[in-house]
Amino acid sequence: MIDKASEMAAFVRVVKAGGFSAAAPALGLSPSAVSKLIARLEDRLGARLLNRTTRSVSLTDEGRAFLERARHILAEIEEAEQSVSQHRGAPRGRLRVTAAVAFAVHQIVPLLPEFLASAPEVHVELDVRDRIVDLVEEGFDVGVRTGVHGDSSLISRLVATDHRIICAAPEYLQRHGVPAVPADLLHHNCLTWFGNPGGLNDWPFDGPEGPYSVRVRGNAEVNNGDALYGMTRAGLGLARIARYRIAGDIRAGRLIPLLADHHRFVELPIHIVYPHRRHLSAKVRAFTDFLVSKFTPVPPWAIDAV
């Protein structure tokens, strides 16, 4: 009997690995055996799913459509197995998590050893990127998202809130002075985002006549939060950065908060999101409950509040 699930799993693994040889170790097969498995799948479906070259594979249009369905089916199979085993209370299996680079590096990664020690049968696959991914289409179990979340197709759980802080390195302030009022920013080198996504170059303040903003400028622009953080630490200029990323630097004196009496703190919500499913798998429940326990009622970056 043909094991359709194994064929699907092999196909998904080949696409993810980018080739038969790269996928073979994870499947416990030789590259030639993997190639034959995919060829058998294509023969049965009557369609070519992969374009093959000597070095890599790429999806055909049929392959792209089949990949999406295969991921869904494999996720349902895994969920079904998990739902049966939940009575033993042991989360297990591969847990695919996606998160923005900064939050993953500064907050999730330091917590992973403790989580994996508490769930030794879980294998975490952490996908770190700064674009919002489609959890269902790309086969993720959990996402951690910062900022406003409005995807009604997902279950969302607010786990913390944060805000951005205007800051600079002591070296910069020694050379250029400390801004006393928001208008002083026009005379400072402010590090900005090119294209001004989400109005991030319009820094918000509260004044006697109400809220207002200052469009800041400088000699360097970025499209990545880690680059912005690194340039700020290097003393290149002022920046407005999420507190969860820089709380430790402020406590250690590596960065100095500025204009706190004028800056309007705009709430930055942080959510755990996962697809709508009738039965939440033990591994997703364990990971979600773990992060909630770490980030509520007070997140680690807000202890001894900055």
Give me the residue spans of the domains in the chain.
4-68, 95-143+275-302, 164-266
User: Residue 15: how many CA atoms within 13 Å on its side-chain side?
Assistant: 21
What does each C-alpha distance from 127 to 91, 192, 212, 221 come to in angstroms? Answer: 20, 26, 37, 26
Predicted local distance difference test score (pLDDT) of residue 88: 53
Residue closest to 132 by CA, chosen among 103, 98, 104: 98
Can you name the CATH fold of 4-68?
Arc Repressor Mutant, subunit A (1.10.10)
- Please give the pLDDT value at position 87: 47
Q: What are the CA-CA distances from residue 300 to residues 28, 78, 161, 290 (Å)?
A: 41, 33, 11, 13
Task: Using alpha carbons, select from 83, 80, 84 the residue that is nearest to residue 72.
Answer: 80
Please give the helix or strand (H or E) that residue 41 lies within, else none. helix 31-45
Are the beta carbons of 82 and 281 closer than 8 angstroms?
yes
CATH architecture group of domain 95-143+275-302: 3-Layer(aba) Sandwich (3.40)
Rounded to the nearest angstrom, the gap between the alpha carbon of residue 39 and the centroid of all alpha carbons in its chain is: 35
The string of pLDDT tens digits covering residues 223-252 is 988 899 999 999 999 999 999 999 999 999
Q: What is the reported pLDDT for 27?
A: 85
Which sign, positive or negative, has the C-alpha torsion 70, 72, 75, 76? negative
Predicted confidence at residue 1, as pLDDT, reads: 40
Q: Rounded distance, CA 71 to CA 65, Å?
A: 10
Q: Residue 277's pLDDT is what?
A: 62
Q: Give the tens place of pLDDT for each residue, 192-208.
A: 999 998 899 999 999 99
What's the token pair of residue 124?
Answer: 């975490």
Instruction: Quote the pLDDT of residue 150.
Output: 62
Measured at the CA of 256, the angle between CA 255 and CA 257, to 5 degrees, comes to 120
pLDDT of residue 201: 96
> In percent, how much of the chain has pLDDT > 90?
53
Number of Cβ within a 10 Å radius of residue 26: 14
Whole-number pLDDT of residue 86? 52
- Which residues of the chain carry a pLDDT beneath 50? 1, 87
The pTM assigned to this predicted structure is 0.67
* Alpha carbon of residue 215 to chain centroid: 28
Q: Are 95-143+275-302 and 164-266 the same fold in CATH?
A: yes
Handedness of CA 86, 89, 94, 97 (dihedral sign): positive
For residue 281, give the 3-state DSSP assignment.
Answer: coil
Right CATH for 164-266 from 3.30.750.24, 3.40.190.10, 3.40.50.970, 3.30.1240.10 = 3.40.190.10
Selection from 21, 79, 2 nearest residue 282 by Cα:
79
Q: Is 33 exposed, middle or buried (0-12, 13-18, 19+ CB in 10 A)?
A: middle
| Whether 253 contacts 168, CB under 8 Å | no
